[in-house]
Amino acid sequence: MINSPRDWFLVAIFYIVAANILIKAGNYNDVELTFLNYTSLDFKLAKKTMINIRQATQQDFSRVLELINELALFEKEPDAVEISIEDLIRNGTGNNPLFTCFVGEYQGNIEGMALCYPRFSTWKGVTIHLEDLIVTQKMRGVGLGKALYNEVLKHALKKGARRVEWVVLDWNTHAIDFYKNTGATVFDEWRVVQMDHGSLTAYIDKQ
């Protein structure tokens, strides 16, 4: 009996392989070709049903922090993460959270996350900043990243945002191409400017 998305996934794989064997052997008819088309569709649907996007709860933040550290490693900044689980809980829960975090589950396990928060543009008004979007390396390519990305954009529309903004490293060409293909604009002429806590303190102390 088929009781879960995983079962549908395995059934779809079986029938796709079987149908391809029939085609290669020349032993097929229109019904079998039609069935192949349907099983290919079932395969995609089964894969999609394994993905679940939801807002993070307090219990999820330990896994969220693991993903944040994985992203820092991917971005070649392995020692840059200073926040703790307590920071995430304190700032991401309660009546007035500073950010919204979505987690992406695949077969019930959290394998990705996206964190965003509101900003205000003097040109556009309310905007949403996408701070991080990460899918653990072993699960890339199953559609989790796009599902999380779409959820952030839907969230922005619900909040009345006039724009969504984020930054991307210039060497991450795969991500850049993906963003452009969705209609986003990448501004090469703008530079990201930051002042960390140490620089901030040192500067103010001199004033």
DSSP string computed for 147-177? HHHHHHHHHHHHTT-SEEE----TT-HHHHH
Q: Is residue 204 part of a domain?
A: no
202 belongs to a structural domain: no
The residue-averaged pLDDT of 147-169 equals: 98
Q: Token pair of 182, please?
A: 């969705």
Choosing from 15, 28, 117, 179, the catalytic residue is 179
Q: Same domain, yes or no, for 41 and 99?
A: no
Is 195 within the bounds of a domain?
no
Look at residue 94 and tell me if it is in a domain: yes
Question: Do 67 and 31 sit in the same domain of this protein?
Answer: no
Q: Which domain holds residue 43?
A: 5-49
56 and 122 share one domain:
yes
Is residue 184 situated within a structural domain? yes
Let me know whether 59 and 41 are in one domain.
no
pLDDT-derived band at 127 (thresholds 50, 70, 90) equals: very high
d(CA 32, CA 19): 7
Q: Are residues 59 and 12 part of one domain?
A: no
Whether 197 contacts 83, CB under 8 Å: no
Q: What is the largest CA-CA distance in the chain?
A: 84
Task: Specify the 3-state DSSP secondary structure of 13.
Answer: helix
Q: Are residues 140 and 82 in the same domain?
A: yes
Q: Structure pTM? A: 0.78
Answer yes or no: do 92 and 171 share one domain: yes
**pLDDT reported for residue 28:** 42
Residue 49's pLDDT band, with cuts at 50, 70 and 90, is confident
- Are 77 and 41 in a shared domain? no
Contact call for residues 165 and 127 (beta carbons, < 8 A): yes
10 and 64 together in one domain: no
| 199 vs 105: CA distance, rounded Å | 38
Considering the domain architecture, whether residues 41 and 133 belong to the same structural domain is answered as no
The first and second tokens of residue 101, run together, are: 């975090």
Residue 88 sits in the same domain as residue 176: yes
Quote the number of domains for the chain: 2
What mean pLDDT do residues 186-204 have?
96
Four-residue CA torsion sign, 5, 9, 10, 12: positive
Which CATH number characterizes residue 80's domain? Answer: 3.40.630.30
* Averaged pLDDT for residues 187-199: 95
Q: Within this chain, do residues 35 and 45 fall inside the same structural domain, yes or no?
A: yes
Q: Is the pLDDT of residue 82 over 70?
A: yes
The answer to whether residue 159 is domain-embedded is: yes
**β-strand 100-106 against 109-121: which pairing, if any?**
antiparallel
| Separation CA 153–CA 156 (nearest Å) | 5
Q: Which residue matches tokens 């996350």? A: 113
Phi, psi of 103 (to 5 degrees): -115, 145
Pair 113, 56: CB distance under 8 Å:
yes
Q: Is residue 38 part of a domain?
A: yes
Tell me if 183 is assigned to some domain. yes
Is position 117 annotated as part of the catalytic site? no
Instruction: Identify whether the C-beta of residue 152 lies closer than 8 Å to the C-beta of residue 144.
Output: no
